[in-house]
């Protein structure tokens, strides 16, 4: 959901949760993980992007598909991880996962839920820039999902995020296109008509056209692929990959081997 990342505020840290806070953050975790609650759009969106992440990683890293834990051995960073809706299933697929979010409340929520599920995920409150300042990484795969449209400087953010990708590694960026169709559907329709999201979640002026994502990735030495659209099918109520990039789309970028 909406996050504003203004820049580095030091090395991201794992916040402690004292016993008095457990109930509060368990309740917040229940909210994040309720598929019929206010995060329902993310739950409905998750299957298509998780399948895309898994299949992209399998193909790029030569991993055998069909295994119980196909991402075993991969070191993955999820920037702007929120309550952990991507971190947890990726961890269950075998990856070593680090989740970073500028909101400490989100991180405490994600940490509480992961512990309840018996999952070991390295959650940090902070920013991508903070990871760089601390000399963290690099990672095999950096996930940059629905966050770049919320940051103060998208161009610099994408360049900084790219520096966290190891040679031979990948980044997957998912965001919203700056088109009239996106304004009508992702803002007016989703927020004010259907009420899928709280009004004001998105600022259409901060949406990015594919070239606005691809240019800084190239500048950072990454090799981006053509964007892949993600479209909503009203009859089935499901999301699917498509050639239509006019609203939601994803870009895969590789850092060449040194």
The enclosing domain of 60 has a CATH number of 3.40.50.150
Which phi and psi angles does 210 have, rounded to 5°?
A: -50, -40
Is residue 9, in this structure, part of any structural domain at all?
A: no
Is residue 237, in this structure, part of any structural domain at all?
A: yes
Is residue 195, in this structure, part of any structural domain at all?
A: no
Is residue 182, in this structure, part of any structural domain at all?
A: no
d(CA 19, CA 207): 40
Domain, as residue range, for 90 = 19-177+204-254
Count up the domains in the chain and report the number. Answer: 1
Q: How many CA atoms lie within 13 A of 28 on its CB side?
A: 18
Is residue 196, in this structure, part of any structural domain at all?
A: no
Placement of tokens 């009508």 in the chain: 184
Is residue 5, in this structure, part of any structural domain at all?
A: no
Task: Give, for all 258 residues of the chain, the pLDDT tens digit.
Answer: 333 344 445 668 776 555 666 676 667 677 888 888 878 878 888 999 999 999 999 999 999 888 889 999 999 999 999 899 999 999 999 999 999 998 888 899 999 999 999 999 999 998 989 999 999 989 999 999 998 998 889 999 999 999 999 999 999 999 999 999 988 877 755 654 455 566 667 788 889 999 999 999 999 999 999 999 999 877 677 889 999 999 999 999 999 997
Q: What is the pLDDT of residue 68?
A: 87
Written as one string, the DSSP assignment of 95-158 is -EEEEEES-HHHHHHHHHHHHHTT---EEEES-HHHHHHTT---EEEEEEES-GGGSS-HHHHH
d(CA 80, CA 220): 20
CB-CB neighbours of 192 under 10 Å: 11
Is residue 193, in this structure, part of any structural domain at all?
A: no
Is residue 2, in this structure, part of any structural domain at all?
A: no
């Amino acid at each position: 959901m909406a996050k504003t990342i203004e820049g580095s505020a030091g090395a991201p840290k794992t916040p402690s949760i004292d016993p008095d806070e457990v109930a509060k953050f368990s309740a917040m975790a229940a909210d994040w993980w309720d598929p019929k609650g206010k995060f329902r759009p993310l739950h409905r969106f998750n299957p298509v992007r998780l399948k895309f992440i898994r299949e992209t990683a399998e193909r790029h890293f030569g991993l055998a598909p069909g295994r119980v834990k196909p991402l075993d051995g991969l070191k993955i960073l999820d920037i702007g991880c929120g309550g952990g809706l991507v971190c947890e299933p990726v961890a269950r697929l075998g990856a070593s996962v680090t989740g970073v979010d500028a909101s400490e409340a989100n991180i405490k929520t994600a940490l509480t839920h992961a512990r309840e599920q018996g999952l070991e995920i390295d959650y940090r409150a902070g920013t991508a820039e903070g990871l760089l300042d601390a000399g963290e990484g690099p990672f095999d795969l950096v996930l940059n999902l629905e966050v770049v449209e919320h940051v103060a400087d998208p161009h610099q953010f994408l360049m900084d995020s790219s520096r966290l990708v190891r040679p031979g590694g990948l980044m997957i960026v998912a965001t919203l296109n700056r088109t009239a169709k996106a304004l009508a559907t992702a803002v007016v329709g989703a927020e004010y008509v259907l009420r899928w999201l709280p009004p004001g979640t998105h600022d259409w002026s901060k949406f990015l056209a594919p070239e606005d994502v691809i240019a800084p990735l190239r500048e950072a030495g990454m090799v981006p692929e053509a964007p892949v659209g993600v479209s909503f099918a009203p009859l089935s109520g499901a999301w699917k990959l498509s050639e239509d990039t006019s609203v939601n789309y994803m870009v895969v970028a590789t850092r060449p081997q040194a």
